[in-house]
Structure 1
Amino acid sequence: MTFRLTFAAIAAVAFAASAQAEGTYDTGASDDEILIGITAPLSGPASSYGIACAAHAAYFEMINEKGGVNDRKLKLLCEDDGFSPPRAIEQTRKLVESDGVLFMYNSLGTSTNTAVAPYLTSMEVPQLLLNSGASKWNDPAQNPWQTSSIPHYLTEAQIFAQHIMETMPDAKVALLQQADDYGKDYLEGLKLGFGDKFDQYVTVHETFELSDPTVDSQMLTIANSKADIVVLAALAKHAAQGIRKLGEIEGYAPQIYLGWSSTGIDTVLKPAGLEHAKGIISTAVIKHPEDPAWAGDPGVAGYVAFMNEYFPDGVQANISNVFAYATNEVLIDLLERAGDNLTRENIRDLAQTIDVQPSMYIDGVKFTTSPDDLDPIKTFQMIQFDGEKWVQIGEPITAD
């Protein structure tokens, strides 16, 4: 009897040790694989940003060739949401309920992420490092399963206001605002930055819908106001239209401030006309690979080597590709810290305790989160377009 009890105890200990070695998993994770879902606009009005799927897939290929993360391979499932909230809900449900992903990752768009947030929260599935800079994601009480991966628009607008007051204190400002959460964050950020001087600075405020074919009429109204500065809170298509229209209006040459998410040279500035884009000011947190200032930088060298080998068809200067690369470094750090505890709750908790310096982030800019502050980036570098490339101007600015 004594021998049998001892043998049973030994067997129980061995079983427990084996279970621990195999890890603690939720749906989408195993000893060999981590299944990750993403929706992106592979079609529709924001399709120029859909390149992120290919960039992520290429990065995961590189990681898998090196052995994966903690000996587990990463598998990415990307679905087209067409930048449509109903479609995003449909595709997200498929990825969670049919495909069984562990978490949703870096899905693009404020409206689409807002649409799927209640569902993912109810399912207790992390909406990890989502590709939206809306300030709403810095609200753990309302959005406990959501974390963002990119600079918040409200914080950037605050930086714009600080920079304007420092460099053009007597300027009159016109704001072109996309009529959604994206545009509202720029309005609120300018209010924060200018404070009680907001009405003194912002004298014209024009809005547009994402479905509007052009913003020509809004640009004409702004031009008639003779505002010294135009802040364009617009995504790629309408940002390009606004820049082009302002450039075509004879006798009017305001200083343009452009949201960072629309600074793509190939996707925005070339369609707008490089001659019209020269002199535009924006912000950056990432190193632009074609900027001579980063010649010889190890982070840029690593990015270029990755693109050459794993994503040769991708445009190295495309901001979406650079951000995908940097965000994947944050993800890998998180998954490495997760170890064998690949539950959705642990992934959520780890996303709220990040302290990383991605190799493609400008020196002095970090990615940090804490349980009570999920705005990952507070410091921005001002940049200006010289007609060919973006170059840094001044020192990095931290939002007050």
Structure 2
Amino acid sequence: MRVTGRMLFALVLAVASLGAMSQQREDSATVSEIRIGNVMPYSGPLSEFGAIGKAEAAYFDMVNEQGGINGRKVRFITRDDNSDPATALELTRGLVEKDEVLLMFGSFGTPGNLATRWYLNERKIPQLFVASGDEELSRPRAFPWTMGWQPSYKAEGRIYANYIQAYYPRRKIVVLWQNDQFGRDLFKGIEEGLGDLNRFVVVDIAFDIADEHLDTHLSVLKQSGAEVFVFAGVPSTAARVIKLAAGFNWHPVFILNDAAASIANALIPAGIENSAGVISAAFLKDPSDPAWKDDPGMKDWLAFMDKYNHPESQNNSAALYGYAAAEALTQVLKQCGDDLSREHVMQQAASLRDFQPSVALPGIRMNTRPDNYVPIKQMRLEQFDGRTWQSFGDVIETAFTEGLKR
């Protein structure tokens, strides 16, 4: 077959057009729309954290009403994975291959994010601000398309260990931790932080999320004679544990992990008189804490909840987490300007400088670099006085860990 000049020109034009179409498909952002994918446990044992995704969806509704991001509307597509990693992978594939999302954002849980990490990195699709504190999800050299958001669970555990060493040295310690990757990581951080003082951890018990034997566990812990009790779990379980301990007339120093330390969702249900004195570490404000009633950022939060989300959820700490994460992603996309290639999105995510979410505690800022994929590396110790959280001590800088340097 003889190829004429006109045929050759048409062939070149067709190839160029296909390349442009491929690039548009790769970038998954049109002139008018940015598609963002997300998976959440809207059902199943961890459904209380589905409030994160609902708040993120509402946040982008607000952004769109205000004109979008750099003139583009956001299409936030969120799916229910029922806390199942296989389902998370299947849904993520669908969001990428059928819905053609630009990136995955804020998906909840360690197992689901680990299950999708290889797939997303092989396809060079950003997996941004995952809702997990597992250090494995912040390894830029091995997985340059996956970035965490919050302080790591191990770092949080080390904070509690350091607190115990400083204020309650050589006291007997017990730990009740949720039997999953989150609980194991936090407990491991405690062990790492205590070092030689691990011998003072007299009992540790792992419990399942649907455990029906919490009263038995609490009885064992009390009988150990421990004076310091560390809990790692979800708010609903924390409420039961605090109430059970009070029922046993057991009043140790009670340390509660950040994700469970909600006045509205844990401390009030447990009974204010039972919860007074609880210690935790945090990086976001508690929306149910009256100390923030005049805070501009929290006033904006309450107005947002009234207009875009369910008013009855305005005291939900998980919803506030979603709001803060969506605010951070919006900042990244604004920094991208008109270049919404996936590579540029990752470059901007790795170039945050002292960005402070409006609902972050004072002194908490986001900073990233190409070799630093943990945006928030600071926390503050606080104690519940029966009404509000009282911060004490300086802002704590969590260390850069080996997991980030591999």
Query: Which residues in structure 2 correspond to 1:312-351 (within 5 Å)?
Result: 312-351=310-349
CA distance in 2, matches of 1:374, 1:381: 20
Counterpart for residue 53 of structure 2: 53
Give yes or no for the alignment of 1:371 onto 2:337. no
Deviates more, 1:295-304 or 1:124-133: 295-304
CA distance in 1, matches of 2:385, 2:46: 26
Counterpart for residue 7 of structure 2: none
CA distance in 1, matches of 2:315, 2:73: 28
CA distance in 1, matches of 2:104, 2:260: 24
**Contact persistence 1:52–1:321 (CA under 8 A):** yes
**Contact persistence 1:39–1:92 (CA under 8 A):** yes
Deviations 1:305-360 (A, max 9, x none): 22222224352221112212211221111001111221222222322222211111
Counterpart for residue 254 of structure 2: 256
Query: Which residues in structure 2 correspond to 1:52-91 (within 5 Å)?
Result: 52-91=52-91
CA distance in 2, matches of 1:167, 1:221: 24
Deviates more, 1:75-84 or 1:305-314: 305-314
Q: Secondary structure, in 3 states, of the residue corresponding to 2:147?
A: strand
Q: Secondary structure, in 3 states, of the residue corresponding to 1:301?
A: helix
Deviations 1:1-60 (A, max 9, x none): xxxxxxxxxxxxxxxxxx9xxx97734211100001111111101111101222112111
Give yes or no for the alignment of 1:39 onto 2:39. yes
Give yes or no for the alignment of 1:161 onto 2:161. yes
CA distance in 2, matches of 1:286, 1:110: 20
The residue type equivalent to 1:69 in the other structure is I
Deviations 1:191-234 (A, max 9, x none): 332233332x3222212233534433322221110111111122
Under a length normalisation based on structure 2, what TM-score does the superposition of the two structures give? 0.86
> Which ranges of 4 or more aligned residues in structure 1 deviate by more than 4 Å?
none
CA drift at 1:375: 2.3
Q: Secondary structure, in 3 states, of the residue corresponding to 2:151?
A: coil
CA drift at 1:80: 0.7
Q: Secondary structure, in 3 states, of the residue corresponding to 2:129?
A: strand
CA gap of 1:329–1:152, structure 2 versus 1, over 3 A, is same
The residue type equivalent to 1:284 in the other structure is A
**Contact persistence 1:216–1:241 (CA under 8 A):** no
Which of 295, 298, 303 is matched with 2:296 structurally? 298
**Contact persistence 1:25–1:343 (CA under 8 A):** no
CA drift at 1:142: 3.0
CA distance in 1, matches of 2:338, 2:259: 35
Give yes or no for the alignment of 1:276 onto 2:281. no
**Contact persistence 1:48–1:267 (CA under 8 A):** no
Counterpart for residue 229 of structure 1: 228
CA drift at 1:63: 1.0
CA gap of 1:106–1:98, structure 2 versus 1, over 3 A, is same
**Contact persistence 1:24–1:340 (CA under 8 A):** no
**Contact persistence 1:28–1:36 (CA under 8 A):** no
**Contact persistence 1:27–1:102 (CA under 8 A):** yes
The residue type equivalent to 2:316 in the other structure is N
CA distance in 2, matches of 1:48, 1:285: 20
The residue type equivalent to 2:275 in the other structure is A
CA distance in 1, matches of 2:89, 2:213: 28
Query: What count of residue pairs does the alignment treat as equivalent?
Result: 379
Deviates more, 1:265-274 or 1:230-239: 265-274
The residue type equivalent to 1:385 in the other structure is F
**Contact persistence 2:25–2:100 (CA under 8 A):** no
Deviations 1:125-180 (A, max 9, x none): 21111111112123223332211122221111111112222222232211112232
**Contact persistence 1:44–1:82 (CA under 8 A):** yes
Deviations 1:241-282 (A, max 9, x none): 3223222213x2111111101123343334444443232111
CA gap of 1:316–1:392, structure 2 versus 1, over 3 A, is farther
